Structure 1
Amino acid sequence: MIEAGMPEAQVTVQGEDHTHFEAVIISEAFAGKRTLQRHQMVYRTLGDKMGREIHALSMQTMTPEEAAGDQ
């Protein structure tokens, strides 16, 4: 769902119980944005599933440069 809303992003999601998830999202769209803004972008891709089918989501949101360690 995140990839559908952010097709340029590299997304890795883990969640063994299918309601609690951990995600790493790497996207150039995060450049110049604060953490809260980045998370809001991801939440928008999930729509009303957040808080319902998806009970909890832990995220790391990074630009490609941050992911490469070139912060």
Structure 2
Amino acid sequence: MPMLASDLEALIRDALPNAQIRVEGDDGVHFSAEVIDESFRGKNRVQQQRVVYAALKGRMDGPNGAVHALALTTKAPE
């Protein structure tokens, strides 16, 4: 079942309530997201992205996942 960009943003916001989040995508299965959060400070990129993927609560898992692709950029604020 396709998702809206706002649905994806809400899932991330639940896990990272103080983050700056920008999610784009209009076909319901392919998205790009930029997530900037202080909790990422001191973590490498893989660790940061794992936090975001965990927030998606399985929406990217396997061929039946709601999200097919996510181009993800994460970082701590400057």
TM-score by length of 2: 0.79
Partners of 1:34 and 1:64 in 2: CA distance: 14
| Corresponding residue of 1:34 | 44
Q: Which runs of 5+ in 1 are unaligned?
A: 66-71
| Corresponding residue of 2:17 | 7
Q: Which runs of 5+ in 2 are unaligned?
A: 1-10
| Corresponding residue of 1:68 | none
**Percent of residue pairs identical:** 40
Aligned pairs, number: 65
- Find the residue that maps to 2:58 and give its secondary structure: helix
TM-score by length of 1: 0.86
CA RMSD of aligned residues (A): 0.8
Where in structure 1 do 4 or more consecutive aligned residues deviate above 4 Å?
none
